[in-house]
Amino acid sequence: MNRFFFGIFPYLCLAVFVVGHIWRYRYDKFGWTTRSSQLYEDKLLRIGSPLFHFGMLGVVGGHILGLLIPQSWTDKIGLSRHAYHVLALAGGIPAGVAAVVGLIILVYRRRTTGPVFSATTVNDKVMYVVLGAVIVLGIWNTIAGSWLQFGGEYNYRDGVSPWFRSIFEMRPDVDLMAAAPWGFKIHAVLAFLLFAMWPFTRLVHVFSAPVGYLNRPYVVYRSRDARARGPQVRTPQGTWDKPGVKN
């Protein structure tokens, strides 16, 4: 059981995640969008969407810190475990709460605003349930494990984090995860399930985060025969340059 969920299932999900994205990008560039419903309803979205998205950015940042950076590294730079915990809670709780509150507002909006609800597909609904469960379990783990410390403190950086890294070393350490509390186990399994669903949902828009905008000339020129010669983005000299070059 543990062997399947923490030794095999992650690989299945990651494989689907990678291949699925390549497939979707190849076959469905037209469907690759945020599918925004702002046109239907603005006021709740104005509060809920930034709350949720910025909260999620914080949550993802926290996971990178907690899962990818080994405990020994933070020990080395002289960050005590207690200090790390305080830091993680100080960043994690607000981000998590923002994401949850945002999600509640967004789901409420989706359910109560007629046009938004009718634009919601089954695909969306399943994704929201899994996403919501992952987030709620994550918050619960933070509160129960690190803050209130039900059933003793669980240091996930001794258990979950090394296991997560061991997946990418192709030597999944199932025993580490088998010893983790139930909350962490379910959170991990559902998170991998979410990764597997990712390429087939609107979540793909995450990979379109337009960071390139910061370093692009304002006006894009393209030749009519772009397809023959491959995509080209060019600016006639003297008009808009990249930021910082001239304008």
Q: Enumerate the known binding-site residues.
A: 53, 63, 187, 205
33 binds another protein (CB under 8 A): yes
**Interatomic CA distance for residues 163 and 17, integer angstroms:** 19
Any contact of residue 61 with another protein (CB under 8 A)? Answer: no
**Residue 170 vs 211, nearer CB to another protein:** 211
Closest CA to 203 of 58, 67, 61, 31: 31
Question: Using CB under 8 A, which residues numbered 200 to 239 contact another protein?
Answer: 200-202, 205, 208, 210-214, 216, 218-228, 233-234, 236-239
Sketch the per residue contact string, 117 through 156, with another protein: x for CB under 8 A, - otherwise: -xx-x-x---------------------------------
Whether the Cβ atoms of residue 163 and residue 6 lie closer than 8 Å to each other: yes
Nearer to another protein, 154 or 198 (CB): 198
Tell me whether residue 72 or residue 118 sits nearer to another protein (CB atom): 118
Contact between residue 127 and residue 197 where contact means Cβ atoms under 8 Å apart: yes
Query: Do residues 205 and 192 make contact, with C-beta atoms less than 8 angstroms apart?
Result: no
Question: Is 112 near another protein (CB under 8 A)?
Answer: no
- Separation CA 147–CA 86 (nearest Å): 9
